[in-house]
Amino acid sequence: MLAVRRAAQRTSVGLVPRRLPIRQVARLLTTTSAQTDRETITRLLYSIGTKREVERYLRIFSASSHPSQPAKFAVIKIGGAVLDQIDELALSLSFLYRVGLYPVVLHGAGPQLNEIIEAEGVTPDYIDGIRITDARTLAIARRVFMEENLKLVAALEKLGTRARPITSGVFTADYLDKDKYGLVGKITRVDKRPLEASIRAGALPILTSLAESTEGQILNVNADIAAGELAKELEPLKIVYLNDKGGLFHGVTGEKLDVINLDEEYTGLMKEPWVKYGTKLKLREIKELLDHLPRSSSVAIIRADSLQKELFTDSGAGTLIRRGYKLFKHNSIEAVGPDRIRQVIHDRDPEVQQGTQSVSGVLSDLKKTPYTIYGDEPFDVVAIVSHPPGEVPVMTKLLASRNGILNSVVDNVFNSIKKDHRKLFWTAPADDENRSWHFERADGSFTRAGKSLFWYGINDVHEVERIVNEMEAKGRIERAYLPVAPSTPPHRLAASSASGVRSYSTLARGIQFHKKVPGGSRGYATAVETSTEPKKVALIGARGYTGQALVNLLDNHPHLSLTHVSSRQLAGYSLQGYTKSPITYQNLSTAEVEEMEKSGAVDAWVMALPNGVCKPFVDAIDRGAEGKAAGKKGVIVDLSADYRFEKEWTYGLPELYSRADIRASSRISNPGCYATSVQMLLAPLLPYIDLRAPPTVFGISGYSGAGTVAGQNDPDGRPTTTPKVTPSSLNGGVRPYSLTDHIHEREASVHLSSLLTLSPSEPSSAAPISKLDVETGPAAEDALIRSGNPLKVSFIPVVAPWFSGIISTANIPLKDGVKLTASDVRGLFEKKYEGERGVRALGKVPDITDVMNQQGFVWGGVQVHSSGHRVVVVGGVDNLLKGAASQCLQNLNLALGYDEFAGIPLPQ
């Protein structure tokens, strides 16, 4: 079975950046001053791919190398014919160098060698495709290899790229068969130390495919074989073969094979009549190589001028070959394995996780009609398709792990489904972070009530409507998926058909056909639509400073209305500071809260209660939500610390953790104010922090952070509050407190640790930093694992005589072998928070005027110790805003489908 072409990538008009030719980008990259900030170079990459793609691959590749093993990014084998394109080749390699990547480069020189030995009267002779090498041929080969090696090094140096010629000392070999082949070697050992020394010195290692015997005899080695042996030793993420063809091609159609998944396709591919001779040998060698390597490794066959597009875009440029996994399809749960399928549903099904459906319910529904379960052997992707006789199939579940998404297993499974079913319907949440993936594979869709229905294989709107009505009547899809009512204003929509593309404006039912555009994708894309539907909020505990700040924000929210406020002390008094409508404080009981949730009186609840008193209200809301339809469950955002460590709750710090999880959640724990500041300060440096000498953060907050106590009643008898700590009680100074074991210390440590893993091979699509190499030696690793939290933050809080605002100073020791400059650190912060509307960079040390009454997070004042091994950086938030109320509103907006910053006045 041949690899299916990469699916077309759907991109909204007006959002596509102007694409520069690859060659022009390479020249821009490599002619820029060596002092150019890496961020500037990275921005140029956006002209060949999306920002998301480029940053994801840079993160993966950068994480692949560790100071103790710096040569794990890529092995690039250059064919002799490519050496004739020396300028293009040098540009492509220099491009990698300029973004901080160090491939190990090995070249052949077959065509050049043939030309010279023929000119000297020597006729090349081969046995079984292996060049017979006598002493005269070897002498010429050494000279040719040296000349070509130095020529490439010189071309790189001319572009400002440091390179080191390595023509011996890496490969040790025995005679392959001295009597038969002469001075031809079979590699027995690879010494990677010269390569690693070159990279540590900041130079690309440029190798030839010559080896030495243990007695010191030079031996000729096939360059492809040498590259393979090198890869087996280094275990790189990428093995790249540069040739002048740019990939492998179908022997009948002539089309380039974009992706080959060997575990699934190898046997069938090798039986194809057009796969013979060199192609068969190449595939066999690549399979043998990849069988020796981790599944994260892959082989790319491309042209030199397509190197950056292959490495940094989902669409790629040449032929990508990886092991993948074999796919399966079964028509019964028993054939798949009941325990395995139950576990996948339990761990990944969003409806099960949200409590709107049970695992048993999913399996029970499955048995109502004939079905097929599709997936891959390790269950990275499982899909379930219901297909009653004579009816259009429906894919009822598509459950993918992160690995399944990143390695495109989800595409392989979907393609397997497509081969079996000419027509298909399936559904997804309207705010699914992978919404674009569904658009790319569908011929049409419509959205209603927070859910989208997609289909392919049908191009007639009336046929779609008929099928949907039939499926709804039989209970195969929920009514929420039905088209909107005829009263909805008509839309001008694009429709595709076999004859072309046409526009029409006669539909008033929201059905949209998709026009596919050229482009490819190896993974999920992201697109999020926002809602403007009015919704209602109840605030439980509106008496303190945070409650007052939230009331002020909701008063200016374009879509949210505050309809209920609860405070035992203020019951019966009018709410002040809210102008949309008159509201009177209530003292809501848990029974009243349960009934309000059951009746749908509000869409969201905010708990602004002290620590330890929230649970009865949450339990009441949970009881009221029992039996409610999916998507109707009231959202809870809890501002206390009660649920910040609960797995069933989503931790709501959008800039660092998954916005998609927040969008899909109805139970959100709002981070603490200090914890927010600490995590925002440390996250950009996570890959470099010395976990054995944890960072220390000194946080100083205004006195409002200490909370309030009951004060004297005002002249109208209305209860008032006073701050627990006052400026006068501080005598104009500051007061350290909770010097150890502050709850925000634990909070920051636990959640930042969730961004760390001991395996760098599986980066997250949801967070800019998520899968980081924290190796510090085997013993230290074991200790980290035993400790529970790999990162242990030390935190010291201080209260100050101003009202609100936190200034945090982080002192961060770096791990062994890491040395950063202040420019490096600023670059890491800029990259981490690029595009984050709620984050501001300052060109100075932030002070309280930069923080007080300001939305979002600010950072600045970056300094690095003269050793380069310790970083100090300063940041801050207003503890009542980003530290509490506006962060709460960010989470509410995401969970309710609004723009994340609706109602939050960000600084201009």
Q: Provide CB contacts within 8 A for 694, sequence distance 6+.
A: 791, 792, 793, 794, 813
Strand 126-127 and strand 130-131: pairing? Answer: antiparallel
> N- to C-terminal Cα distance for the chain?
56
Which pLDDT value is given to residue 769? 28
- Which pair of tokens denotes residue 711? 């004060």
Which pLDDT value is given to residue 503? 25
- Bridge partners (DSSP) listed for residue 500: 497
Q: Which residues of the chain have pLDDT under 50?
A: 1-22, 32-37, 480-509, 516-528, 758-787
Are residues 41 and 32 in contact, defined by beta-carbon separation less than 8 angstroms? yes
- Which pair of tokens denotes residue 338? 């009941």
DSSP annotation string for 704-729: GGG-EEE----TTS---EEESS-HHH
Helices (H), 802-867: 822-832
Q: Provide CB contacts within 8 A for 560, sequence distance 6+.
A: 534, 535, 536, 537, 554, 604, 892, 896, 898, 902, 903
- Bridge partners (DSSP) listed for residue 854: none
Cβ-based neighbour number of residue 778 at 10 Å? 8
CA dihedral 111, 113, 116, 120 (to 10 degrees): -130
Which pLDDT value is given to residue 846? 93
Q: How far is CA 593 from CA 559, 564, 625, 665, 721, in A?
A: 22, 10, 11, 20, 25
Strand 163-166 and strand 204-208: pairing? Answer: parallel
Which pLDDT value is given to residue 786? 46
d(CA 420, CA 415) in angstroms, rounded, equals: 9
Which pLDDT value is given to residue 495? 31
Which pLDDT value is given to residue 125? 77
Which pLDDT value is given to residue 314? 62
**Tokens 């400059």 identify what position?**
821
Of the candidates 237, 673, 755, 884, the residue annotated as catalytic is 673
Which backbone phi and psi does 799 adopt, to 5 degrees?
Answer: -105, 140
Strand 604-607 and strand 535-540: pairing? Answer: parallel
**Tokens 């998507």 identify what position?**
631
Which pLDDT value is given to residue 493? 29
888 annotated active-site: no
Are residues 791 and 689 in contact, defined by beta-carbon separation less than 8 angstroms? yes
Q: How far is CA 237 from CA 322, 526, 780, in A?
A: 11, 25, 25
Which pLDDT value is given to residue 511? 63
Per-residue pLDDT of 12-53, as tens digits, reads 222 233 344 445 555 555 554 444 445 555 555 555 555 655
d(CA 175, CA 136) in angstroms, rounded, equals: 17
Helix, coil or strand: residue 18: coil
Are residues 212 and 86 in contact, defined by beta-carbon separation less than 8 angstroms? no
Helix, coil or strand: residue 856: coil
Q: What domains can be seen in the chain, in order of their start residue? A: 22-322 (3.40.1160.10), 327-463 (3.40.630.30), 535-642 (3.40.50.720), 673-879 (3.30.360.10)
The DSSP letter of residue 681 is H
Q: Is the dihedral of CA 789, 795, 799, 804 positive or negative?
A: negative
Per-residue pLDDT of 56-77, as tens digits, reads 667 667 666 666 677 778 899 9
- Which pair of tokens denotes residue 712? 């004297």
- Which pair of tokens denotes residue 905? 């006045």
Which backbone phi and psi does 136 adopt, to 5 degrees?
Answer: -65, -45
> At 265, which helix (H) or strand (E)?
helix 262-271
Q: How far is CA 882 from CA 195, 243, 474, 670, in A?
A: 48, 53, 48, 10
